[in-house]
Structure 1
Amino acid sequence: MLKMTPMSTADFERFRASSAADYVEQCRLTGLPSLAASQAGTLAGLDALLPQGPATPGHYLMLLQEQENGATVGMMWFGEVSNDDATSAFLYDLWIAPAWRRRGFAAAALALLAEEARLRGLDSLNLNVFAHNTAAQALYRKAGFVASEITMVREL
């Protein structure tokens, strides 16, 4: 149904721009001015996390492609994160193109990620999700994720 293919440099440039724009939009949708992000600031943050772009060690930037016809249905970025005695996979971004949504591709991508993390000997999968994104929360719960911490904000 779905396979992961490493992004090319051109793919990464498209991902970089769209991921930053989506993050800015998600921050706006929170309705909290303190979480507002700028496109330039978000791009700077991405560049700090990925100084070598798709070749940054410990980070995996993947195209999600339909196995049958090779059509790109989305993109995923995950990395290896070490804390204490464990190393986990952190899902930084999962995006499915609008035309391909509601067809099981996000769930399939999470299953691929879990298998990839197991093969790499990682202990767990972690991610952050915006509180207003109830559809993503439902997807993650269905895939076996549980809340490990909740960050709350009060505007003054």
Structure 2
Amino acid sequence: MRTYTALMLHLRPMDAGAFARFLARAVPEYAAEKVRSGQWSPEEAQARSEREFQDLLPQGPDTPDNILYTLHDPHEDADVGVLWYALQRTPHATTAFIYEVEVFEAYRRRGYATQAFTRLEADAAARALYEKLGYHATNINMRKELRQPG
């Protein structure tokens, strides 16, 4: 059995091309989930799914308070998944609502999801602090090297 260790994971902000690929996969998957759960009929599912994504992300990857990343492993030189969360603000707190964390099937069980959640927490906390102080993002690059045990 081969063992994989994800040494680092980069969060790359989705550009228009990555966003189009995300929608092409996510919209029909969400529609199928709703049909399987009995919430939507097969006839209406695709259109309803498209509408919900449009309502949630009217400006695509530039929709305010929605953060969409491609998960990228530079060792594999591959995009290994996606992360989408939204910042939800109240007068007392800012929280992160996770819409999607997906590691593509070929890259599962290598530690990417764990790293994605760790990065999400750090990213959301930093964003909330920076925005509270009046900063706004222009570019984001993140990297963390992990030491292997032993």
TM-score, reference length from structure 2? 0.72
Residue 82 to residue 35, structure 1, CA distance change in 2 (3 Å): farther
Give yes or no for the alignment of 1:15 onto 2:22.
yes
Instruction: Verify the 8 A CA contact 1:19 1:93 in the aligned structure 2.
Output: no
Determine the C-alpha separation between the residues in 1 that align with 2:70 and 2:28. 18
The structure 1 residue matched to 2:51, chosen from 12, 34, 44, is: 44
Determine the C-alpha separation between the residues in 2 that align with 1:121 and 1:88. 9
Match of 1:68 in 2: 75
CA deviation after TM superposition for structure 1 residue 55, in Å = 1.0
Match of 2:135 in 1: none
Letter in 2 for 1:24: A
Match of 2:33 in 1: 26
Where do 4+ consecutive residues of structure 1 move more than 4 Å?
A: none
Give yes or no for the alignment of 1:120 onto 2:127.
yes
CA deviation after TM superposition for structure 1 residue 108, in Å = 0.8
RMSD over aligned Cα, in angstroms?
1.8
CA deviation after TM superposition for structure 1 residue 35, in Å = 5.4
TM-score, reference length from structure 1? 0.70
Determine the C-alpha separation between the residues in 1 that align with 2:39 and 2:61. 30
Structure 2: gaps of 5 or more residues: 1-7, 130-150
Letter in 2 for 1:82: R
Structure 1: gaps of 5 or more residues: 123-156
CA deviation after TM superposition for structure 1 residue 84, in Å = 4.8
3-state SS of the aligned residue for 2:39? helix
Which structure has more RCO (C-alpha within 8 Å, separation ≥ 6)? 2
